[in-house]
Chain A
Amino acid sequence: RDAGQKRARGLDGTLGGDKGDGDMASVTSTVACTAAGTDEPNTRTLQPIVTGTSVVAVKYNGGVMMAADTLGSYGGLARFTEVERICKAGEETLVACDGDYSDWQHIGKIIKELEVEDRCVADNITHTPHQYWSCLTRILYHRRSKMNPLWNSLVIAGYSDDAAFLGTTDKIGTSYEADYVATGLGLHMALPVLRRKWKEGMSEEEARALVEDCMRVLFYRDCRTINRIMFAKVDKHGQKIFEPSPIPTNWSFRSFVDPSGP
């Protein structure tokens, strides 16, 4: 859409002018989604370019298990196959993202600044996982309020004060803590699996198997995945990010062999 055709987007997200609805137009005309409406170059994120797909994470007895594949998609092209979407934050926290990879790199810098801040104050108190989650949520919400979002969903997992922490935020700053989370297409495909199979007090092996099941479903059905999964866990001993590896898959399901069948 070029500069001359910018239209106001109403509070309900629709473009008021489209339907010729008089009432909507009077509401939407006061809410503009673009700056000035002139031919200035765009200085805001309008679309993600290199993207990562879902992240899945579950709490277990004594820690949190997390997984993400290592693909950076360029639209429909599976362009970068060794992208790391999980990183450490401090000594007790893991942060993972989906969405735009360059915005993730920026978030990596923010995390590093928080770590350096801990070092400089040097009072033997470091940011807890909850604090990383809270800070990142505020930053994402702030950016979205300037209509220039960091186009990521983040999963923040940690183990601190003898308790596991798991929280998530998305690019508009919606955040919550939960026992299990998924982002992106995982919301649609992994969450149902997690809702059925997650239980309180799982062991690490059970958690890993459950997360692997979710990643398997996602690999079967999400077009923007590859079978190179990076698992990570955080427990009272600290964070551990495992070397990426493929997970076993089974392609002899009837609906894979003959999708048109009954």
Chain B
Amino acid sequence: LGCNIYSPDGRVFQIDYAGKAVENSGAMIGLKCKDGVVIGVEKLVMSKLLVEGSGRRVHPIGTHAGIGFTGYVADGRAVVSAARAEVENYEDYYGVDMPPHVLSDRLGHYFHAYTTYGGYRPFGLCTVIAAFDQEKQEAFLHMVDPAGTHYRYHGCAVGKSKQAANTVIEQLDLSNMTCEEGLKQIAYIIHTIREEEKDKPFEFEAGWVCKDTNNKFELVPKDIRDAASAWGKKKVEEMEMEDDESDDED
């Protein structure tokens, strides 16, 4: 069944299957905080032989935008190249940084194009975009799914256990949270949803565009990421201990 074929109940199976590729992969979370946007990815490490830091999931696009992706990782590199070309082209023509909603729109079109031809397959990716809007002087968070639909978010989660992650995000007070705080919360959420895979190693990758980075997108340095991850892990353990205690009291 190709992309150009509907199912009897009005779905395009290839797009649904692409969504499955996303659902089976590591979690990715984006949060729009009061001073910027931070995105984090749970990168499952397949083998002890892999060098830490290789096979990156979070990439800067130009100077003021960044992309994280989860799903079929090989597709990610193609999308990153396309996004970089779009940003460079826009800035060349218009002389200003590409606004986040325009980048999101262009990537949406790009993803969608691959769902309309029989010879193509959709990208097996959800792409989260964190970018700074020069005109509005504010950073925004967008996500594009394999079908090409894109929305602007306050907070979003994709990949494994995204329902659980979204539940936690809904309860966060994002408008009063800094990106540093947000990074810790992302680490906490990732540790929370990794119940079944506690033993499988993972790398925590993150990137942000915020006041502290001068409104440019940068990858979060390793020491900050490690500290956030340790904080998140400790908080999960504390929550578990509390649950155990309250169980004992009952």
Given contacts A116-B63, A122-B218, 5 further A-B contacts (CB under 8 A): A109-B92, A113-B88, A116-B62, A116-B88, A119-B63
Q: Please determine whether A120 and B60 come into contact, CB atoms closer than 8 angstroms.
A: yes
Q: Please determine whether B219 and A122 come into contact, CB atoms closer than 8 angstroms.
A: yes
| Contact among B60, B84, B88, B92 with A122 in the assembled complex (CB-CB below 8 Å) | B60
Per-residue CB contact flags for chain B residues 79-114 toward chain A (1 = under 8 Å, else 0) read 000001000100010000000000000000000000
| Contact among A109, A113, A119 with B60 in the assembled complex (CB-CB below 8 Å) | A119
Q: Is B61 an interface residue (CB 8 A)?
A: yes
Q: How far is the CA of A113 from the CA of B92 in the complex (A)?
A: 10
Q: Which residue of B lies closest to A109 (CB)?
A: B92
Q: How far is the CA of A122 from the CA of B63 in the complex (A)?
A: 11
Which chain B residues have a beta carbon within 8 Å of chain A's beta carbons? 59-63, 84, 88, 92, 216, 218-219
Per-residue CB contact flags for chain A residues 179-195 toward chain B (1 = under 8 Å, else 0) read 00000000000000000
**Residues of B with C-beta under 8 A to A109:** 92
Interface centre among A109, A119, A120, A122 (most CB of B within 10 A): A120
**Residues of B with C-beta under 8 A to A116:** 62-63, 88
Q: Please determine whether A120 and B59 come into contact, CB atoms closer than 8 angstroms.
A: yes
Q: How far is the CA of A80 from the CA of B59 in the complex (A)?
A: 41
Q: Which residue of A lies closest to B61 (CB)?
A: A120
Q: How far is the CA of A122 from the CA of B208 in the complex (A)?
A: 13
Q: In the complex, what's the smallest C-beta–C-beta distance from B64 to chain A, in angstroms?
A: 10
Per-residue CB contact flags for chain A residues 96-115 toward chain B (1 = under 8 Å, else 0) read 00000000000001000100
Q: How far is the CA of A120 from the CA of B63 in the complex (A)?
A: 8
Q: Please determine whether A120 and B84 come into contact, CB atoms closer than 8 angstroms.
A: yes
Q: Which residue of A lies closest to B81 (CB)?
A: A120
- Return 13 A-B CB contacts under 8 Å, by A number: A109-B92, A116-B62, A116-B88, A119-B60, A119-B62, A119-B63, A119-B216, A120-B60, A120-B61, A120-B84, A122-B59, A122-B218, A122-B219
**Residues of A with C-beta under 8 A to B84:** 120
Q: How far is the CA of A109 from the CA of B93 in the complex (A)?
A: 12
Q: Which residue of A lies closest to B62 (CB)?
A: A116
Q: How far is the CA of A113 from the CA of B89 in the complex (A)?
A: 11
Q: In the complex, what's the smallest C-beta–C-beta distance from A93 to chain B, in angstroms?
A: 17
Q: In the complex, what's the smallest C-beta–C-beta distance from A224 to chain B, in angstroms?
A: 29
Q: How far is the CA of A120 from the CA of B59 in the complex (A)?
A: 7
Per-residue CB contact flags for chain A residues 23-57 toward chain B (1 = under 8 Å, else 0) read 00000000000000000000000000000000000
Q: How far is the CA of A10 from the CA of B115 in the complex (A)?
A: 57
Interface centre among B63, B216, B218 (most CB of A within 10 A): B63
Q: In the complex, what's the smallest C-beta–C-beta distance from A202 to chain B, in angstroms?
A: 35
- 5 closest A-B pairs by CB: A120-B60, A122-B219, A119-B60, A122-B60, A119-B63
Q: Which residue of A lies closest to B80 (CB)?
A: A120
Q: In the complex, what's the smallest C-beta–C-beta distance from B77 to chain A, in angstroms?
A: 12
Q: In the complex, what's the smallest C-beta–C-beta distance from B97 to chain A, in angstroms?
A: 11
Q: In the complex, what's the smallest C-beta–C-beta distance from A222 to chain B, in angstroms?
A: 33
Q: How far is the CA of A119 from the CA of B59 in the complex (A)?
A: 9
Q: In the complex, what's the smallest C-beta–C-beta distance from A226 to chain B, in angstroms?
A: 28
Q: Which residue of A lies closest to B59 (CB)?
A: A120
Q: How far is the CA of A116 from the CA of B92 in the complex (A)?
A: 13
Per-residue CB contact flags for chain A residues 117-154 toward chain B (1 = under 8 Å, else 0) read 00110100000000000000000000000000000000
Q: Which residue of A lies closest to B221 (CB)?
A: A124
**Residues of A with C-beta under 8 A to B216:** 119
Q: In the complex, what's the smallest C-beta–C-beta distance from B174 to chain A, in angstroms?
A: 26
| A148-174 residues at the B interface, CB under 8 angstroms | none
**Residues of A with C-beta under 8 A to B59:** 120, 122
**Residues of B with C-beta under 8 A to A113:** 88
Q: How far is the CA of A119 from the CA of B219 in the complex (A)?
A: 10
Q: Given that A109-B92, A113-B88 are known contacts, is A120 also in contact with B219, CB under 8 Å in the complex?
A: no
**Residues of A with C-beta under 8 A to B219:** 122
Q: In the complex, what's the smallest C-beta–C-beta distance from A119 to chain B, in angstroms?
A: 5
**Residues of A with C-beta under 8 A to B218:** 122
**Residues of A with C-beta under 8 A to B62:** 116, 119-120
Q: How far is the CA of A122 from the CA of B84 in the complex (A)?
A: 14
Interface centre among B62, B88, B92 (most CB of A within 10 A): B88
